Amino acid sequence: MEPKYYPVALVDRYTGTSTTYQKVVEWRVGFEWGGPKKGKLLEISIITTEYDKTKWRVRVGRKILFEDKFVPSAKTFPWYNTPAELDYDTRVTIEAKSTDGTGITADGEITAVEF
């Protein structure tokens, strides 16, 4: 029997001048639908008002996928064909910071499924 999948779509924003990483959006596996114990990341998207003044960090659990990276335009990172399942309470976090205190507005989106 196929597992029952529950969609996850999270969108949020950070606006500020902090030069230390601030959470833009985060997914805690199993907490969106109150029951599923596993999850699968499908994609993340990031966009900012100040591309040359925004650095990004993306974490999945304890693994940093990238850190201190400039992204020159809106970007989507797909993980549709990745076989990895994420355990209950694993966090997928998108963070952003200003390089020099310039005001930024950073938006992030996480698409996933819980099962």
Taking domain 6-114, whether its CATH number is 2.60.120.380 is answered by yes
SS3 for 95? strand
Domain limits of the chain? 6-114
Q: What value does the mean pLDDT take over residues 16-21?
A: 99
- Rounded CA-CA distance 113/107 in Å is 20
Q: Mean pLDDT for the chain? A: 95
Instruction: Please tell me the distance from the alpha carbon of residue 97 to that of residue 15, in angstroms, as a whole number.
Output: 10
**Arithmetic mean of pLDDT, 84-91:** 94
Task: Assess whether pLDDT exceeds 70 at residue 3.
Answer: no
Instruction: Give me the pLDDT at residue 34, please.
Output: 82
Distances (CA, A) of 17 to 12, 24, 102: 17, 13, 5
Distance CA 105, CA 86 (A): 29
Q: What pLDDT is recorded for position 75?
A: 98
pLDDT category of residue 18 using cuts at 50, 70 and 90: very high
pLDDT digits (tens, 9 = 90+) for 26-82: 999 999 988 778 999 999 999 999 999 999 999 999 999 999 999 999 999 998 877
Question: What is the band of 2 on the pLDDT scale with cuts at 50, 70, 90?
Answer: low
Q: What is the pTM of this model?
A: 0.94
